[in-house]
Structure 1
């Protein structure tokens, strides 16, 4: 069921948005390269490792957070992603969009897979900040095939909401 317009976050303008990138150490360079390719200004990015959370007294008003977690074996990464999202919560503005990417321990992110992942994350950002259910971005056949390829390779992309 679609949320009412007053509960939706404001549309995310990637050119002027403050962004927090959090993730495991081997995925942070891939995440940073994808963010720059998507048009996010490198000066407005804050990169945080999941294993070394930010200082609890530090605050920032980022409107977007992208969390990338590598899941070793059969260990579910959702709980780890939830803990990472809660640890970076002081860096985010209320109602910020949080997109989580989980990568299987066996998956190597090839350049073509990185581009597909970037387009899926951008799609999730567009869906999260759409004003209504009718104005949501359409996922064409090419994007559906890309998403199926991501799932087959062990990559999952989803949005989470914490607090308000």
Structure 2
């Protein structure tokens, strides 16, 4: 069910938005490259390793968090990503958009897969910041095929909401 317009996030301007990138160490360089390719200003980007907890007294006003977790074997990566989202919550605004990416342990993120992943994350950002549930961006055939390719490669993309 779509949230009401006053509860929805304002459109995110990636060139001006504060962004937090969190994830396992081997996925952080991929996240950073994808964020720069998507138009995020590198000076407004904060990179946090999932194992490196941010200082609890530190505060920020990031509007977007992208969390990437590699799932080795039967490890519940979504739960680890949810915990990471809780840990970086002090760095985010209350209604920040949180996007979680889980990557299979066997998956290698080649450049073409990275570009497809960037397109899907941008689609999720657009869907989260659409003015209403009825005006969400349409997923084109190319985006649908890209999402199917990501899922076949063992990559899952979620948009989660924590708190308010």
Q: Same fold (TM over 0.5)?
A: yes
Residues 109-128 of structure 1: matches in 2 within 5 Å? 109-128=109-128
Unaligned runs of 5+ in 2: none
Task: Measure, in 1, the Cα distance between the counterparts of 2:119 and 2:76.
Answer: 24
Task: Measure, in 2, the Cα distance between the counterparts of 1:112 and 1:120.
Answer: 13
Task: Measure, in 1, the Cα distance between the counterparts of 2:122 and 2:140.
Answer: 14
CA offset digits 1:122-158 (Å, max 9, x no partner): 0000000101122100001111000000000000001
TM-score, normalised relative to structure 2 = 0.99
Unaligned runs of 5+ in 1: none
Please state whether the residue corresponding to 1:6 is helix, strand or coil. coil
Please state whether the residue corresponding to 2:135 is helix, strand or coil. coil
Question: Where in structure 1 do 4 or more consecutive aligned residues deviate above 2 Å?
Answer: none
Say yes or no: does 1:8 pair with 2:8. Answer: yes
CA offset digits 1:99-127 (Å, max 9, x no partner): 00000000000000000000000000000
Count of residues paired in the alignment: 164
Corresponding residue for 2:27? 27
Task: Measure, in 2, the Cα distance between the counterparts of 1:80 and 1:112.
Answer: 26
TM-score, normalised relative to structure 1 = 0.99
